[in-house]
Every structure is written in C-alpha cells, then in structure tokens.
Structure 1
C-alpha cells in the first residue's frame, strides 16, 4: 500500500487514522524511522523488536548460549565465579 503523507513546514506528519489503528497506534505511540538505500521505512516498536530478534536468530543460528546471558555465564566460568 502506498499513501501520500504531507509534512508540515515544522517537520510533522500525520499517519491516517486507519493506518494507526491497524498498527496498534490508535492511542499514539512511537515509530522507528530507518533510512535505506531504497527510501524510508517506518516500523512500530513491536515490528522493530521482531526484526531485531529475526536478525539475532540469523546470526546466532538459534544457539541460546550466543546471547547476553550465555556470554555472561561463560565470563563467570572463565573468571572462576
């Protein structure tokens, strides 16, 4: 879906109500803007977290020891704690 959204002189833009409702932003909320080679992508917080989790899964291969908790556990073992 492509929509035209106008930007005011002070840099504000409004997402249409039906889009906000579908994205769970009806009561307001934050979106994350990512500038890419192809343009601009807006993501909700939930979408940004899901994308980060998918990227982490891609790089860790689902290995539970590859996360922060696994790293800290290995550090404790190495230091003799």
Structure 2
C-alpha cells in the first residue's frame, strides 16, 4: 500500500507555545501561536487522515483519539484532550 504525504508543517514543541507554560513570554509568542494555528488549519483542510508528530524522544507510539495529556511536567496544572 502506497502512502502519500498530503501536507506538512513544522511547529515548535508545545510547551513553548502554550500561554500557561510560557508565562512571562506568552504575549511575545502570540504571532507564533497564530502561525501554528494557521498551519494546522491548512493540514486539516488538506484532508489528511493521520497526523504524525515528530519529537526528540526515542520511542515510537500511536494513540487513538481522544488523547489526553498534561503540562504538569513543566510545572503547570493544565490537562488537555485532543480528538
């Protein structure tokens, strides 16, 4: 089965762009957050059926929606759900 790349975007690691985690730099990152939102909107509009996220870890994982996570690792009591 051939797999086609429909679209691609590069965004920074989430803690950097989450206002609650960015703290004092949150306002400075408004334009970056808007650009990331626009990039993700274009990915969705392209009709991709799968989102692949590449990070610094050595493990490979797959998740079925909804996916839950937390920013507690970065000292912020913020839980998120995607999907």
TM bracket, shorter-chain basis? under 0.3
Q: Which has the higher helix share?
A: 1
Q: Which has the higher strand share?
A: 1
Q: TM-score by structure 1 length? A: 0.26
Q: TM-score by structure 2 length? A: 0.26
| More contact order relative to length (CA 8 Å, sep ≥ 6) | 2
